[in-house]
Amino acid sequence: MLGTPVLRIDGALKVSGGAMYAADLNLPNLAYGVLLCSTIAKGRIASIDARDAAAQPGVLQIITYANCPPLHQPAKPISSQGQSLVPLQSADIAYYGEHVGIVVAESFEAAAAGADLVEITYAPANAPPVLMPGKPLKAAGGARDTTWGNPNAALAKAPIKIDQIYSTPYEHHNPIEPPTTTASWDGDELTLHDGTQWLAGVRMMVAALLGIPPANIRVLSPFVGGSFGSKRVVWPHVYLAAVAAKLVNRPVRLSVSRSQMYTTLGYRPQTTQQVTLGSARDGRLLVFRHTASSTTSEFDSVIEPASAKTGMMYACPNGTFARKLQRVDLGTPTTMRAPGEATGFFALECAMDELAYATKIDPLKLRLLNYANVDPMSKLPWSSKSLKECYAQGAAKFDWKKRSAAPRSMRQGQWLLGWGMASAAYPVNRSPASASVTIVADGRVLVASGTHEMGGGTYTAMAAIAADALGQDISAIQVELGDSNLPATTVSGGSRTINSIGPAVEAAAMQVLDKFVGFAIADPDSPLHGAQASDVRAINGRLQLEGQPMRADRFTQILARNKLPSLSASASTAPSTAATKYSAYGFGAHFAEVRVDPELGEIRVSRYVAAFAAGRIINPLTARSQLIGGIIGGIGMALLEESAIDQNVGTFATRNLVDYRIPVHADVPPIEVLLLPEEDSVTSPLGTKGVGELGIVGAAAAVANAVFHATGQRIRDLPITPEKILSRGIQSARRGG
């Protein structure tokens, strides 16, 4: 079963409209909230006139700092808190778009109409807001900076040096499902229907802010319509929905509009990265430096760890990496798919491409010359590493050997043709998790865990793991998730979901199986009576003696004879201490072809091949989709995505999907993903590693390197646009960027 492509068991619900998201729920007596957001970047509220809004038919309540109950700021930072600034607690304004009120009404339309009638005047701060990096750099936790060997001495002696600045812009997540929370109270008991990546985090954070026991809160999130990190933490609208529901004494649905998502739900911060490589003339690395600075708000220190993982990629005896922060007057940034790795590998892999041209060595050969057989930073052995196989199979499928080395040397009609490649790596993450498995009298198998389905295929993977362990057809498996009352799990972030809950599901399934075997071999009426437990196998919904298929006993028969309506088991699993003795990553290799119009600067990705080794693959169908989705995100990162700043207004000028460019079908060629078989006994009992973020790591660099190969112009600041291509001119292209 495991490793066999399986259609999503929740697919029919999603395509038929039967999947219930947080905004789909209809509760009796439901009211609707609309957020009021600041229209200045910094200052204070001078006055609020809500009289006309309060008179609007259907309006139930207008909540501002003047009547919002005090909220309890946690004594110490909580990892699920999206920002430390709690709104509606004072007249102060820290950033454009900060929540300053909620209008609650009988209908969404009445709430929106009421919101339009609230008049707020402001006293802006005297100094203009700082929106772009420019302040002195601040160290971001010096203990996290790392140095090995003697980088300064090695750099001084290196005959070949690359020293460049690479930058990535502000970016926004733009999931299809806008964040929505529906809150309802039953006495002191609070139920939150919320699109979230972390049920336990919502429960913990809301409890802390409201000052109530976590046990009084239930969070439901059976489906999440995309996230990419934006729903990993708890943003203010979640607990403000609970506040509104308490004040009006009825359920309240509070949705964040598409434009509000750009100011109040985090974003990928801007990064500026300096990468310095020193090598021998034969291309072997002697020294590696990577310093990355990223932007954060004035009140939080959220780091984009762009340099944190790059030192593990290539064998190098001397190196250093550092992280720094620059404060700006925007809301707090947050994680975005492959936070740190996506941005950091863009800089690293472009710098490696530049080194390949400086040493006149093929980019693929250069990476093989510097292949790391152990983790260069930790000196630990790899739990498994099949990167050489990824290089070989990806290059063969792409036909890399036919690449002409010189920039601007390949054409296809009017188009300049470019081929680029890059490496990919993403750490293996695993956390404690729990699950339960129940077999009921009618033969159904119920698998439950308080985890999340964001589109990656969690429902199907859990069903496949249980079916494999129990010898059942997957059609007999029913999966329950998205409920904080179910067995507890961790956040669905860092590509850890299946790596964490998979072993718990398997362990629970094996435990319930052991219970059935115990009943059968002890029962004189069972065909398995007196058999050795080790000789019993589970096949097709029954237990049978190995080598004697006629000696079999169905699960339903065992339950019936013992007058049991069901039999269940729960299991909790956690990472093993043995895993700390290894460095564990998934690896991959990207190969991209681009076409560039030399007259118009138009860039098209025309062909793409990527090969990945990410441990045992539970469901190749959904795993491949995840990797393709990551690559598409990387194409967007390379060529399209940028959240522009309007300094005059004091916020992002990009506020919707009209202005924020993301890849559409016309921008994406057929993408061929190769999944290499890989066994890993260290990462988890199932041997999985995780694929949710691996696909985007290195993808932007592969496209950028292909653009250089096509044009001879090295664009180091993303996104690469026709304007940047044309502004360099033909002379720049002839010089090689």
| Residues that are catalytic | 693
Q: 345: closest CA among 395, 309, 294? A: 309
Residue 693: Cβ-neighbour burial (10 angstroms; 0-12, 13-18, 19+): buried
Q: Count of alpha carbons within 13 Å of 300, Cβ hemisphere only? A: 25
Contact indicator for 536, 519 with CB cutoff of 8 Å: no
Q: What are phi and psi of 272, to 5 degrees?
A: -125, 125
- Residue 181 and residue 192 in contact, taking contact as beta carbons nearer than 8 Å: yes
What angle in degrees, to the nearest 10, is found between the helix axes of 497-522 and 458-470? 30
What CA–CA distance (Å, rounded) separates 366 from 362?
Answer: 6
Ranges of H-type helices in 585-654: 620-639
Token pair listed for 579: 């895993």
**Could you tell me where the beta strands, DSSP code E, fall in 385-454?**
411-412, 415-427, 433-440, 445-448
Per-residue burial over 100-129, b = 16 or more CB atoms within 10 Å of its CB, e = otherwise? bbbbbbbeeebbebbbebbebebebbeeeb
Q: Say which residues have a Cβ less than 8 Å from residue 557's Cβ, sequence separation at least 6.
A: none
Closest CA to 516 of 482, 542, 484: 542
β-strand partners of 289: 276, 320
Give me the half-sphere count of Cα atoms (radius 13 Å) on the Cβ side of residue 701: 28
The identity of residue 264, as a single letter, is T
d(CA 286, CA 294): 27
Contact 565, 421 (CB under 8 A): no
Dist. CA 262–CA 259, nearest whole Å: 6
Identify how many contiguous H helices and E strands the chain contains and give both numbers: 16, 30
Angle 63-66-68 (CA atoms, 0-180°, nearest 5)? 50
Classify burial at 340, counting beta carbons within 10 Å of its beta carbon; exposed 0-12, middle 13-18, buried 19 or more. Answer: buried
Q: Which two tokens stand for residue 517?
A: 């075997």
How far, rounded to the nearest angstrom, does the alpha carbon of residue 361 sit from its chain's CA centroid? 35
Q: 471 is written with which tokens?
A: 């010898």
CB 448 within 8 A of CB 481: yes
Cβ atoms of 522 and 532 within 8 Å: the answer is no
The answer to whether 718 and 700 are in contact (CB under 8 A) is yes
**How far is 661 from 445, CA to CA, in rounded Å?**
44
DSSP state of 529: T
Helix (H, G, I), strand (E, B) or coil at 550: strand
Give the Cβ contact number of residue 514 at 10 Å: 13
- Cα 292 to Cα 305: distance, rounded to the nearest angstrom: 8
**What is 691-711 written as a DSSP string?**
-TTGGGTTHHHHHHHHHHHHH
DSSP state of 144: G
How do the residues of the chain divide into helix, strand and coil, expressed in percent and rounded to 5?
Answer: 30, 25, 45
Is the peptide bond prior to 575 cis by the omega test (within 30 degrees of 0)?
A: no
For 67-122, give the DSSP string: TSPP----SS--TTBS-SPPSSSSSEE-STT-EEEEEEESSHHHHHHHHHH-EEEE
Rounded Cα–Cα distance for residues 377 and 362 (Å): 26
